[in-house]
Amino acid sequence: MNIPKILRKVCLVVLPVILIGLAGSSSNLNAQAAPDLGANKYLYKGISLGASADEVRKKLGDPRDKSDPQDLFVFSDEESAQFLYDANKKVTAIMVTFSGKLTGAPTAKDIFGEDVAPKPGGGIFKMVRYPKAGYWISYNKIVGDDSMVSIAMQKM
């Protein structure tokens, strides 16, 4: 399956509504069975839910697209991240998208601590809600000629 570049751009705008994401290499993402945001166990490049927009921009630099409700950072042709903010300019959602060869993309096991069986076409999807902690995480992998992994985290 070949995903046209325009569809990838649409995914960066539309998918956050569906899969507001979180990802990074396994060194950037510290997954545990019962994530505790208060102790910052889940981080993407040092950013967690509740961080201020100023903190995000200080750690990651100038975003490609910057606005009050969201920032889009493009780190390479294969990795980008979107941060969504509330009215107080605090991170309410993070979505990271990997595309292409997926060499830097974490696996579902990196995120959830266990393997997730692929669907018949090879894709993977899993979402876990942590109601006591007040957020959810999802992992979505699309396979094909132009593969994509989206990992999302959003306050509930």
pLDDT tens digit sequence for 30-79: 333 444 444 444 578 889 899 999 999 999 999 999 999 999 999 999 99
This prediction has a pTM of 0.75
CATH, residue 79:
2.60.120
pLDDT tens digit sequence for 118-127: 999 999 999 9
Instruction: Provide the domain limits for residue 65.
Output: 5-155
What SS3 string covers the chain?
Answer: CCCCHHHHHHHHHHHHHHHCECCCCCCCCCCCCCCCHHHCCCCECCECCCCEHHHHHHHHCCCCEECCCEEEEECCCCEEEEEEECCCCEEEEEEEEEECCCCCCCCHHHHHCCCCCCCCCCCEEEEEEECCCCEEEEEEEECCCCCEEEEEEEEC
- Return the pLDDT at 5: 44
User: Residue 24 — very low, low, confident or very high, per pLDDT cuts 50/70/90?
Assistant: very low
Domain count of the fold of the chain: 1
